[in-house]
A and B are shown apart, each in its own frame.
Chain A
Amino acid sequence: MSETRLETQGLSRQFGALRAVRGIDFKLDAGARHALIGPNGAGKTTFINLLTGVLPPSQGRVLLSGRDITDTAQAERVKLGIARTFQINRLFRGLSVLENVCIAVAERVGAAASMFYPAGWRTDIIDESMGLLKTLRLDDVARHRVSELPYGRQRLVELAITIGLKPEVLLLDEPAAGVPSAESHIILDAIERLPQDIAVLIIEHDMDVVFRFAKRVTVMVSGAVFAEGTPKEIETNEQVRAVYLGQATQRAADA
Chain B
Amino acid sequence: MTDVAPAANPAPDVALALHPAARDLMRRHRLRWWEALPWIVALGAYFAFPDYLGFGAELLVAILFALSLDLALGYAGIITLGHAAFFGTGAYTVGMLAFHDIWTEPITSLLLAALAAGVIGFLSGLVLLRTKGLTLLMLTLCTMALLQEGANMAHDYTGGFDGLPNLTIAPVFGVFEFNPLYADTQYLYSLGVLLVCFVFVRTLIYSPFGQSLTGIRENILRMHAVGSPVRRRLVICYTISAAIAGIAGGLWAQTNAYVNLSALDLDRAATVLIILILGGYGRLYGAFIGAVAYLALEHFLARVYPTAWQLGLGLLLVAIALFARNGILGLGDVLWRRFGPRHTAS
Contacts and interface: CB of A to CB of B under 8 A. Distances in A.
A91 interface: yes
Interface string A114-131: 111111111100110011
Contacts of A102: 25, 211
A107 interface: yes
Contact of B208 (A54, A91, A122, A134): A122
Contacts of B204: 115
Interface string B193-227: 00000000001101111111011001101111111
Contacts of A97: 21
B21 A112 contact: no
A27 interface: no
B209 A118 contact: no
B311 interface: no
Contacts of B159: none
A185 interface: no
B212 A84 contact: no
Contacts of A117: 207-208
Contact of B222 (A90, A121, A134): A90
A143 B19 CA distance: 9
A83 interface: yes
A116 B203 contact: yes
Interface of B: 12, 16-17, 19-22, 24-30, 203-204, 206-212, 214-215, 218-219, 221-230, 233, 345
A114 B208 contact: yes
Contacts of A54: 224
Contacts of A142: 19-22
Contacts of B215: 92, 95, 103
A126 B17 contact: yes
A165 interface: yes
Contacts of A123: 17, 26
A123 B25 CA distance: 9
B122 to A, nearest CB: 16
B209 A114 contact: yes
Given A75-B228, A143-B24, A91 B211 contact: no
A126 B208 CA distance: 12
B22 A98 contact: yes
A220 interface: no
Given A75-B227, A91-B222, A143 B26 contact: no
A98 B207 contact: no
B16 A134 contact: yes
A118 B206 contact: yes
B24 A119 contact: no
A93 B230 CA distance: 18
Contact of B345 (A94, A130, A139, A143): A143
A135 B169 CA distance: 63
A92 B219 contact: yes
